Amino acid sequence: MSLRCSGVRIFLMPYTLTTPLYYVNDRPHLGSTYTTLACDALARFQRLSNGSVVFVTGVDEHGQKIQRTAEQKQVSPQAHCDAISTTYRDLWKRWGISDDRFVRTTDPRHLQLVDQFYNRVKASGDIVSGRQTGWYCVGCEEYKDDPAEAESPTCSIHQKALEWRDEENLFFRLSRYQTAIEELVARDDFIAPASRRQEVRNFVNQGLRDFSISRVNVSWGLPVPDHPGHTFYVWFDALLGYLTALLDDGEPVSLERLASCGWPASVHVIGKDILRFHAVFWPAMCMSAGLPVPQKVFGHGFLTREGQKMGKSLGNVLDPELLLDRCGSDAVRWYLLRDIQFGDDGDFQQQRFVDLVNNDLANTIGNLLNRTSSMARKWFDDCVPPAGAATGSDHPLAIKSAACISTVMESMPKLAFKTAAEAILQLAIAANGHLNDTAPWSRMKEPGQEATVAEDLFAVLETTRLVGLLLAPLLPDLSERILAQLGMSLAADDWSNQLNWGRLSSGSALPKPTPVMQRLELDEPL
């Protein structure tokens, strides 16, 4: 994004956030959906509060695992990648994900960028030839050190036999960046949450070793320019997809343009299993190529189901498409972002899921709006009641609203979605409490109470308006329905001003109320 001032172009740096580039060996699962929903909430918040955002997602399409999966299906690797990548695109569209860039590492533009990056790293003297010997996991796409002397080595993650490799590879001289990476991971603002930092620091303190960036036995990969028969190691290739995405603007692919296209990333949001690649290998690669390192890497936890790890063998994998069809996006987004501390491991419990959605969204928020709007329409000509003194910043609900807004504004940039969601819920609970305490249905029967009833109803409706606005990043669809029920809409370029107390217009028409959130009824397991 840029502006011109007196003939000089001024670049306004966007907030750049990324999901991982999801590996297309199989269809999307709930874990990848969880990450993407969280990033979507963050992207929506940053757009509303700061304006310029580049939200990157996409797919990683190379490597031996994909090559073998395609062979098993008796299709070409490209045909396999096309099919799975389309599944990701379509699913994110159905979930309403607001990504700005979707990158595929089979895109010809990506090959151009990888070649440029490799040449920079090579010119820095960080590419050397060497021999790679050891046990290799195709599922993890990496060498394993621990079981090197075991008689029957097996990957502890994929529970599949490792393969012995002995081949000539190209290596990136990661060891040269020992001090620089130590200093980087020592910063408290680089790796989040705090529980992940020490893990990476311990890994770095053990001493960084050069790592292989090419393979000679994998045909499904990008070719190394000056080494016939070598293809780039999938992780070297995949990490560069973030840069390709930023340069996917119709202009020529050039690393020189990155500074004006949103690099460095404000935050990479990833699963904790790939934290080392993003917090250690990737920054060193950027340093070697003369590029700024990402500003933050956030490693979140894993999801289990009813206390058990999800897996095909157990038959307990939650299908994100089924969840969407049966429950809707608002329900799933609320449960994942409100009940699980983002960064920690979380457990999907169906009964708790149903209870939270019904209690929080259908009852506390939805019923609050419905009953307050119904009373206002009944007693004040289908309109928002006169505000009276309720527009004052000293009103009890105005004070609670200000505190809630402050909490949301502090929490969302930290990816503390649970804290933000709970604050919004507590504001709705406070509005319900105010309604119960003032009991307008009783006082309206008393002579001379119309003005104070009007003030109370206005204050509750105004609080509900703010609840709707604050939900916009977390639950955009429900937010829209709440605001529509108040005869309003979200002004994306004026969100901060809309959050000021007292912006509801007395005398404006209130639409006939309809439930903004249906109760969730699940008779069978998902």
Predicted local confidence at residue 271, as pLDDT: 95
Can you tell me the mean pLDDT for 414-418? 98
Predicted local confidence at residue 139, as pLDDT: 66
Lowest mean pLDDT among 39-48, 311-320, 386-395, 467-476: 311-320
Predicted local confidence at residue 322, as pLDDT: 93
Q: Which residues pair with 16 in a beta bridge?
A: 54
Q: Which two tokens stand for residue 240?
A: 């560069």
**Number of other CB atoms surrounding residue 526 within 10 Å:** 14
Mean pLDDT of the chain: 92
Max mean pLDDT range (24-33, 155-164, 257-266): 257-266
**Residue bearing the bigger pLDDT, 8 or 69:** 69
> Per residue in 205-217, is it b (16+ CB within 10 Å) or e — as a string?
eeebebbbbbbbe
Predicted local confidence at residue 12, as pLDDT: 62
Q: What percentage of the chain's residues is helix, strand, coil (to nearest 5)?
A: 50, 15, 35
- What does R_g of the chain's alpha carbons equal in angstroms? 26
Whether 112 shows a pLDDT value over 90: the answer reads yes
Predicted local confidence at residue 156, as pLDDT: 66
> How big is the CA angle at 334 (ends 316 and 373), to the nearest 5 degrees?
140
Whether 431 shows a pLDDT value over 50: the answer reads yes
**In the block, which residue shows the tokens 């940053």?**
46
Q: Which two tokens stand for residue 362?
A: 């259908």
Q: Dihedral sign, CA of 391, 396, 398, 399?
A: positive
With contact defined as beta carbons under 8 Å apart, do 316 and 305 qualify? yes
Whether 146 shows a pLDDT value over 80: the answer reads no
- DSSP E strand stretches across 323-433: 346-348
Taking only the tens place, the pLDDT of each residue in 46-80 is 999 988 999 999 999 999 889 999 999 999 999 99
Can you tell me the mean pLDDT for 483-490? 97
Please tell me the total number of residues recorded for the chain in this structure: 526
Q: Which two tokens stand for residue 418?
A: 């649970």
Predicted local confidence at residue 130, as pLDDT: 86
Taking only the tens place, the pLDDT of each residue in 327-342 is 999 999 999 999 999 9
All structural domains of the chain:
10-301 (3.40.50.620), 352-498 (1.10.730.10)
Whether 137 shows a pLDDT value over 80: the answer reads no
Residue 203: name the closest of 287, 135, 145, 271 by CA: 145
Cα–Cα distance for residue pair 345/309, rounded to 1 Å: 11
Can you tell me the mean pLDDT for 226-248? 95
Taking only the tens place, the pLDDT of each residue in 169-209 is 999 999 999 999 999 999 999 999 999 999 999 999 999 99
Taking only the tens place, the pLDDT of each residue in 278-297 is 999 999 999 999 999 999 99
Q: Considering the chain, what percentage of its residues have pLDDT values greater than 90?
A: 83
Q: What is the DSSP string of 157-169?
A: TT--B-EEEEEEE
